[in-house]
């Protein structure tokens, strides 16, 4: 069996050490990208939720107004219905 000399063994260990440091640098870089992308995604999520609530609120208000308007058209004593039908 052939053994590596001390000098050759040190070179192999140094090569392994360099590869480990390179892998750590890549991991830190990818972690930074991940954190940046996560912040962007969370901001987009909050913005979408905010505008969804605004749109949902507007839709509910408009639907209530539509129901009230249509009901008032069929009620003979409703002042709003009379106004919409053109009766005084």
**Full residue range of the structural domain in which residue 37 is found:** 6-85
CA 20 to chain centre: 35
Beta strands in the chain (DSSP E): none
In this prediction, the residues of the chain whose per-residue pLDDT falls under 70 are 1-5, 87-88
At residue 88, the pLDDT reads: 55
Residue 62 CA to residue 68 CA, distance in Å, equals 10
Q: What backbone phi and psi angles, to 5 degrees, belong to 4? A: -80, 145
Which pLDDT does position 67 carry in this prediction? 94
- With beta carbons less than 8 A apart as the criterion, state whether 71 and 84 touch: no
pLDDT of residue 1: 42
In this prediction, residue 7 carries a pLDDT of 83
Q: What is the pLDDT at residue 6?
A: 75
Question: Considering the domain boundaries, does residue 16 fall inside one?
Answer: yes
Q: Which tokens belong to 38? A: 């996560």
How many structural domains compose the chain?
Answer: 1
Supply the pLDDT for residue 75.
82
Within a domain: 12: yes
pLDDT at 74: 83
In a domain, 52, yes or no: yes
In a domain, 56, yes or no: yes
CB atoms within 10 A of CB 83: 11
Q: Is residue 1 in some structural domain?
A: no
Residue 24 resides in a domain: yes
36: in domain = yes
């Amino acid at each position: 069996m052939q053994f590596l000399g001390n000098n050759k063994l040190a070179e192999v260990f140094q090569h392994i050490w360099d590869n480990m440091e390179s892998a750590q640098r890549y991991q830190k870089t990818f972690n930074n990208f991940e954190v940046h992308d996560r912040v962007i995604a969370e901001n987009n999520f909050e913005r979408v939720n905010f505008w969804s609530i605004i749109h949902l609120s507007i839709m509910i208000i408009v639907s209530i107004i539509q129901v009230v308007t249509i009901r008032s058209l069929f009620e003979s004593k409703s002042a709003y219905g009379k106004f919409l039908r053109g009766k005084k």
